[in-house]
Each structure stands twice: as structure tokens, then as C-alpha cells.
Structure 1
């Protein structure tokens, strides 16, 4: 219910509004010494099991323990790690140089660098409630709770043997594959023994599933979206909805939810559409594309879609409502090709969209395209490129990272991911 209220009300507010050149000067937020990027860890059910943090340092802040603690507090890492696994890289001596206790949640895992004075650090981290992650090349199976490895760093047969040996020695040990570039590689990692994969592939198309995900319910939703954009007659919209019983049930459930506070039950489709309103119905149907016949893969894409949508909206200048709505739609619809396993051109041929939205999705052009590119760079943890592009768009790095953190936190929390 909270998710519906926030979806059909307002999304998260921008922490630092992006000012236009004509706006009064506003002091920019202080430049952070460290920026943290979040990379999804995908599990065997294709869901997001947690995040592996990547660190970008400015100047000599890379080994500064206080700067890392400050960055983790800014990202609200402890609250996230109470719900999902969060991997935090820890360089030499950082644990001893600062108090990390305030940022440790129930599922915080520290990835210890090879040159850490390991024995006292391991004991202290565990006493504080954290767990230990080590690289496969430096792994002590008796010490580690999680072992991570680069999928492409050694021959596959050799890697599989090493992972099987670790499994025999420690059956409960968690294994994370890094550098995974596709859903096919993710499945390969699962076959050789990994529990999780990361590498920025979550929003990519799964070629092995091509053409299998655009079921009848989702095609009906695309037809409804097109009719809503075309201001079709209410009877025509209702007739399309009734072609799919599952969609009818969802529409009636939503119309009768406490969100609308009705004193009686709505039983008819036309009445439900009238009650919901075209704008709210359009938003709900866009979300329904991800949730109809959903599996773990679809839920992962919904998190990506909501995060992109909230980030793009948050970076709009001067409270421009039209631009905000268009950017939210760009972000929300941008993973549809991966969801439906159809070319974006084929999807957009089925629905009418504002020209600026269609240009960004289809041709990477128009006023919203570079903001979508910015979201994709952040998802892939390409912070250097993201900061450069943000500068070209007159967005301060601190504003960018804070906006992304809030967008990601909202998407994850509302969907309990």
C-alpha cells in the first residue's frame, strides 16, 4: 500500500535541486572525497540478493578510513544491510583506523584486501556483527564467509575445480562471481557453483529467452497503454481490458484498494477506469508490465526501472513538471526490451509516446537521452564516466550520487528488495 501511495503521489524528493543557469545561485553540496557505486548481486532465482559496493576516490581519500565511514553513513549502508547482503571493500589498515560499528548491519560483509592484518581485523569485524569476504586467490576457507572471484581470470575448468574444492571444505560458504557480462554467463556461474553474480548485466536482454516473455497479458497492457495515449473512448479501453481476465482482476483490486477510500465495491471495468483516472492508470499499467506473470528476473528489472525513473525525475531543472513526467516515463520504460525480449522498435510500434520519450528510448537522442545514459553508467559502476557526463550536464557529483542513492533506496525499499 505504501508503494502505491508513493507511486501515484510523488516520488522521492531531490536532495539537492539541479539549478538552471538563470536560477539564483545556490551553494553546491560539499564535494565528497569518496563516491560509492552499487552493483547488483543476482542470485539463482534471478533476483537481487544484495549489492557489492565499488569505491571511487578523489585525491588521497582512497585509503582514508574516516572518509569511507562518512561515505557509508551518507549512503545509509547500515539500514540497507539490515535487509539485504551488502559487500563493502576494506583496504589495508582501514578497520583499525576508524570506527565502522555505526555502519554495520546484520548482513554487512567486508571484503578484506590481501594486505590487511587479517587476524585481529577478522575477530573485530565478527564481534561487531559483520562477516568476512575474501578473494579466491587469497581465500582462507576457514576464515571467509564469502569468496569472490573474477569469472574470466582463469580457465573455466580450473575455476570449477577450485570452487568444488571450496564447497567440499565449507558447504555453507557463499561464492560470488564478478565480471559477469550477460545472463548466459550468470547461468554458467551458477552451474560451476556460484551463488551470486555481478557485473552490470541485470538490465540487459537475455538472448536465450528471446520472444518468450511477451505473454498475452503483457500484450494487452501494451494495447491499453496505446489507447490511453490516444485518448480512446472509455468503452474501447474497457473492451480491451476484458480480453484478459488476469488484467481485469488486477484493475478491480486496485480500484477497490483502501488507497481510494470508497464506501462501496467497484464491480465494473468502465467504472474502475473512470475512478482510477487515465494518468494514474497509465502509471499503474506501466508497472503491471513488470508484475504480470512475474518471476525473479522481472522483479530485478522492476527495481532497475523504478530506480532509473526516480533518478531521471530527480535531476529535472526548475520543477519542470512536463519534463519530470517524461523523464520518469523514459526511466520506467527503458528496460522493456529486456523484460519482453523484443527489440525496442517493435515495442514502441505498439504504443504512442511523447516524441522526447520515444527518441530517448529508440535512438538515444533528444533532451532526455543523456540522463538515461547517466543512469546506465551508474548501474555499471562507471563512476569516472558518470562524473564527466554529469559535469557536462551541470550536475555536481554529490548531487548525482545522493540522487542515485535515494532513487535506489526507494526502489529497493518499496519492493522489499
Structure 2
């Protein structure tokens, strides 16, 4: 059963948490998010929701929004570090009570869009607080209604409008209103059923919220569909697994100067965090060792499909990092790179456009990693299953995290830390 991302509450059972990392007693729950994609399928923002543990009620809904804001501020806007998601926007579904909560001020107004129903935005009693928050820089997305307020003052509050995937007339009206001098209102589509509807939105320059259930079109069944760069990366990974002589590995890498550049540029990126600049593969191995280098090659493999979707690349990187983070402290440090690979490679067929069986015939992985990828079994499988459940928002995250002795607060921290890490983790991003 699929759960609607945009509902305000959800069922589920939470695990015990450390009070120092969970916002408030009685508000235990899990984060859920959808990605905001532009016409090029690039992730430009997120829509966050809170899945409170236990039976939902109006009171727990208000408390849940508070818990969500506390959690977001703690991990995305901590102290002197500032906003860690860069230029990306954060859409947050809020209740009327949330507008008066001090926790709202812990988020950067220019990066936050508050999502509210049309009747709430048009409530005369709320006008003063809405105008105050808009003046501070907060955006507002009007949900559940395509007719904007007639009152110019109220209309000026709305910065985004939730539209249907096929709502051509509303999008055209917004564009026309902007040309007539009205404050611009950005249409944003939600509940898009498939990539065909997504492309229809993209053709009208409408950004789209995508949930974790979205997949790329069916993959090819032939293993020969791997692109030349992908094949070379696979060859290098196999050499590392066999602990072949470094000179042989260097010779193979020299066949592709562009790949060498991408690898070294990535290893020197902030995401890797090396203290010194790496100038050669030999230097990289000396500083990192074979196992971490295998990890970075696996990330390059995931982003080597030139026709691949930036959305799928970001999703794979996020999953790999999340799986790695939730497994830290539970498995030996030597397993960290395998956790990352297991998480990311569980989406490799979608990234490369090749069946998983075809990929595994080319890429020699350990039995534990293969079990995690194919059946969510083995040593790493439960961590991959938890990542998948969080993405799908299927109501199973509480049960799966409890089985791993992970608190909701730990899972939420890992999700948000992965979002931050992924900002500069893509090899493509490191080249810009």
C-alpha cells in the first residue's frame, strides 16, 4: 500500500530515542520527503513532512510540525554554520498553529516555503502574521485550490501554487497574470503519476514534486548496453578487488584521460575532505587505500551514464550515504565502504539502464553486497531496506529501524546528513 506523501499525519510505531537528539517528548516520528525537480530532472529542493508515531490527532499534528522544524533547524541550519542546503528550497507543510511557533524562526526565511490550504491563507484573522512572515522572506505555497485571493494584499503573500500535472489552464493564467504586472506565482505540480506527466509539466516550465516510488523506464536486458566509460570503471573496480599491482591499474586508467581527470577532481572535492591535494592515482592509493578508492569508483560508475537522470544519480548517492551513516557504529569501520556501495548499487540498474543481473555479471561484488542488492538480505540488506522504506514513505520505517535498534532521531539525522553530504558529493558537481 502506498501512502500519500502530502497527508499531514501517518500511522506507525516509533522506537525509543535519546532525548538530546529528539525534538520533544511525545512528538517522536520519522521524516519523509519528496524531491522538487526542474525540467532537466535536477533536484532543486525538498518537501518535508513529519510521520508522527501513534494515532494522529490535531494536537499531535501541531506538535509534529514543531518537531519537524526543530529537527530541520538542528541538522540543516546549525548555529554558525548557516544553511547547509545551499540554494535549495525547503517546502514545509504547516498548520495554523505553526505560524506562531518560535521554532519557525530557526529556519532561514529565504530558503523556506510554507505550504498551507487556500482557506487558511484567506483567513482574515491570519492576515497580520502572514504578512509579517512574508516580509521576513518566507514563501507561501497555496494548496488545495487553484483560485488565488482577489485581495491584492493577500495575493502578494502567495509565491507558489500547487497545481495538477494536467492543469494547463491554471499555469497559463499564472503566466498571463505575471505579464499583466501581478506578483509572479510559481506553479508546482504534485501527485504526478509517471514520467510522461512529468515531461508534460517540464514542457510548460512547471517544477514537479517526485516521491520515492518514481523509477526510470524499464531497463535493457543486455549486459552489452554498458557505455565505454562504465566498462572501464568496472574493469578498474575489478582490479582493485583483485589487489592488482598499482602500475597495472594506472595503465588501465590512462586509456581515458577524461575519467582520470574526473576521478582526481572528485577525490580533491570537499566531499572527500582530503587534507592535501591528490595529483595521481598512486598518490590517491597512498592516501586512501584500495577500499576507499573502490568506493569512489563505484560513485563514478553510478554517474557514468551520460543519458542518465540527475534525479536518479542524486537518489543513489543519497541512499548510499544514508545506508553508510545508519550502519556506522553497528558494523566494523572496515565495512563502511561496503555499506555505501550496497546502498548505491541497489539502484545501479536504474542508473545505467541495464538489468541488475547484467550489471552483476560485469561487476564482481561480495556475496553480502549481492544479497543486499538482490533480496535485501545478508549483512547489509536490512540497512538498504530501511533506506528504501524511508524513500517510499510506506509506513515501515519505524518497524525496520526498531529491528536495527535505531531510534527515529538517528534515522532522521542520517537522512538530513545525507542530503547535506550529497550537495557536493556528485562527481559532476565537483567539476563545476
1:130 aligns with 2:143: no
- Write the distance in 2 (CA, Å) between the matches of 1:95 and 1:261: 47
CA separation of 1:357/1:301 partners in 2, compared to 1, >3 Å: closer, same or farther?
same
Q: Which moved more, 1:321-330 or 1:287-296?
A: 287-296
- Write the distance in 1 (CA, Å) between the matches of 2:146 and 2:129: 16
- Write the distance in 1 (CA, Å) between the matches of 2:253 and 2:360: 20
What is the TM-score of this pair, normalised by structure 2? 0.75
- Write the distance in 2 (CA, Å) between the matches of 1:87 and 1:357: 35
- Write the distance in 2 (CA, Å) between the matches of 1:256 and 1:147: 41
* Deviation string, structure 1 residues 54-96 (Cα, Å, up to 9, x no partner): 2323454656546523421222255256631111112234314
Equivalent residues, number: 383
For residue 188 of structure 2, give the secondary structure of its aligned residue in structure 1: strand
1:409 aligns with 2:420: yes
- Structural mapping, 1:63-102, within 5 Å: 65=62, 67-76=64-73, 78=77, 79-80=83-84, 83-96=87-100, 100-102=104-106
**How far apart are residue 221 of structure 1 and its match?**
0.5
- Indicate if the aligned counterparts of 1:65 and 1:98 stay in contact, CA closer than 8 A: no
CA separation of 1:355/1:82 partners in 2, compared to 1, >3 Å: closer, same or farther?
closer
Unaligned runs of 5+ in 1: 1-17, 20-24
What is the TM-score of this pair, normalised by structure 1? 0.78
- Indicate if the aligned counterparts of 1:238 and 1:273 stay in contact, CA closer than 8 A: no
- Write the distance in 1 (CA, Å) between the matches of 2:425 and 2:285: 25
- Structural mapping, 1:142-161, within 5 Å: 142-143=155-156, 144-151=158-165, 156=166, 159-161=167-169
- Give the aligned CA root-mean-square deviation in angstroms: 3.7
Q: Which position in structure 1 is the counterpart of 2:116?
A: 112
CA separation of 1:213/1:69 partners in 2, compared to 1, >3 Å: closer, same or farther?
farther
Q: Which moved more, 1:218-227 or 1:31-40?
A: 31-40
Q: Which position in structure 2 is the counterpart of 1:361?
A: 373
* Deviation string, structure 1 residues 342-374 (Cα, Å, up to 9, x no partner): 111111111111101011112333232222121
- Indicate if the aligned counterparts of 2:118 and 2:145 stay in contact, CA closer than 8 A: no
- Structural mapping, 1:15-414, within 5 Å: 32-58=27-53, 59-60=56-57, 65=62, 67-76=64-73, 78=77, 79-80=83-84, 83-96=87-100, 100-116=104-120, 117=123, 119-135=127-143, 137-140=145-148, 142-143=155-156, 144-151=158-165, 156=166, 159-170=167-178, 172-201=184-213, 204-207=215-218, 214-251=226-263, 259=274, 261=276, 266=280, 277-292=289-304, 297-298=309-310, 300-316=311-327, 318-382=330-394, 384-412=395-423
CA separation of 1:134/1:290 partners in 2, compared to 1, >3 Å: closer, same or farther?
same
CA separation of 1:128/1:99 partners in 2, compared to 1, >3 Å: closer, same or farther?
farther
- Write the distance in 2 (CA, Å) between the matches of 1:303 and 1:329: 14
